[in-house]
Amino acid sequence: MEEIDLSCEFLGKKLNLPLVLNAITGGTPRAEDINYHLACIAKKYGMAMAVGSQTISIDDPGSASTFRIVREINPTGVIIANMGAGRPVEDALAAVEMINADALQLHFNVPQELAMREGDRSFKGIIDNVARIVKECPVPVIAKEVGFGFSRESVSLLYGAGVNIIDVGGMGGTNFIVIEDKRGGMFGGELDNWGIPTAQSLAEVLSLGLPLTVIASGGIRTALDAAKALAMGADLVGIAGSFLKVLLREGADVLDNVVANMVYRLKAVFLMTGADNIERIKTRPVIITGRTGEWLKLRGINPEWWARR
């Protein structure tokens, strides 16, 4: 097992693990404490980390320290800024500068906004705005869904706007429509199952055959989940909610143990499939059946490609 190499290069830096500790929080004293502990974990295990939406720090500069703590803890690690895809270019650039980010994550959360009583209702020109940000931003831009998944049509538009890193953010993890429903949102529970599941979204993006770096996220909870995503073709895997729950309920030491166990189990899956690195596991057969297989066939994507490679 000691010969299993889980390392990868991302944003010009080496990661020990193909994991992104994905955007969670920021802007409050409690958020600063959460970000502190998550940054410590990311640094210890050599993971990338994305902060939560920095919009609050643009409107309230005094909250910037809750995000800067991540870079202070991990000065040489891969740290990713976060801003809504519809925000002005100057806000996006400020988010990057705030934490000396290695990349900028632009999040797309249209269903959540529509579920919020106080949310946005117009998204006209968002692709043009993304293109402007890509042009002006000094670091790579990542397009990230937040739990509803990207279709291949959406990714084609984003690629045309200059984005070449996609975080699929599929359905299966944190459900922001349900969260807004609990706050008295607009959907009343009718659209709780809206979205493209993570496996289907990942397959759609990969089927384009574009020169993209692809991050699989959305309900990734176990080492086996991560291994399946990597075997399908993801370059990295994003995890957020499951780690946050452990941190809040059981503390930083337990989270440390959870991550250590995940690393061991991920290596075990690699070993059991005869893969000694990430590129090798991408060559292993993946059997896609059931609802996911049916989805792919109806979308003109042949699941046999994964099964017979």
- Tell me whether residue 217 is annotated as binding: no
Query: What totals of helices (H) and strands (E) does the chain contain, helices first?
Result: 15, 10
What pLDDT is recorded for position 120? 86
- Tell me whether residue 274 is annotated as binding: no
Among 74, 62, 90, residue whose Cα is nearest residue 36: 74
Among 288, 280, 101, residue whose Cα is nearest residue 202: 288
Give yes or no for a contact between 180 and 115, defined as CB atoms under 8 angstroms apart. Answer: yes
SS3 114: helix
- Tell me whether residue 112 is annotated as binding: yes
Task: Indicate whether 53 pLDDT > 80.
Answer: yes
- Digit-coded pLDDT (tens) for 7-48: 999 999 999 999 999 978 888 889 999 999 999 999 999 999
- Tell me whether residue 23 is annotated as binding: yes
- Tell me whether residue 213 is annotated as binding: no
- Digit-coded pLDDT (tens) for 185-204: 999 999 999 999 999 999 99
Give yes or no for a contact between 104 and 184, defined as CB atoms under 8 angstroms apart. Answer: no
- Tell me whether residue 85 is annotated as binding: no
What pLDDT is recorded for position 48? 99
Cα distance between residue 33 and residue 35, in whole Å? 5
CATH superfamily placement of domain 8-284: Aldolase class I (3.20.20.70)
What pLDDT is recorded for position 163? 99
What average pLDDT score do residues 95-123 get? 95
- Digit-coded pLDDT (tens) for 112-148: 999 999 988 889 999 999 999 999 999 999 999 999 9
- Tell me whether residue 63 is annotated as binding: no
Cα distance between residue 171 and residue 162, in whole Å? 25
What average pLDDT score do residues 66-83 get? 98
Structural domain boundaries of the chain? 8-284
What pLDDT is recorded for position 97? 98
What average pLDDT score do residues 97-105 get? 99
- Digit-coded pLDDT (tens) for 195-243: 999 999 999 999 999 999 999 999 999 999 999 999 999 999 999 999 9
Cα distance between residue 122 and residue 125, in whole Å? 9
What pLDDT is recorded for position 23? 77
- Tell me whether residue 175 is annotated as binding: no
- Tell me whether residue 53 is annotated as binding: yes
Q: How confident is the model at residue 73 (pLDDT cuts 50, 70, 90)?
A: very high
What average pLDDT score do residues 254-274 get? 99
Question: Kind and range of the H or E element at 9?
Answer: strand 8-10
Mean pLDDT estimate for the chain: 97
- Tell me whether residue 24 is annotated as binding: yes
What average pLDDT score do residues 251-273 get? 99
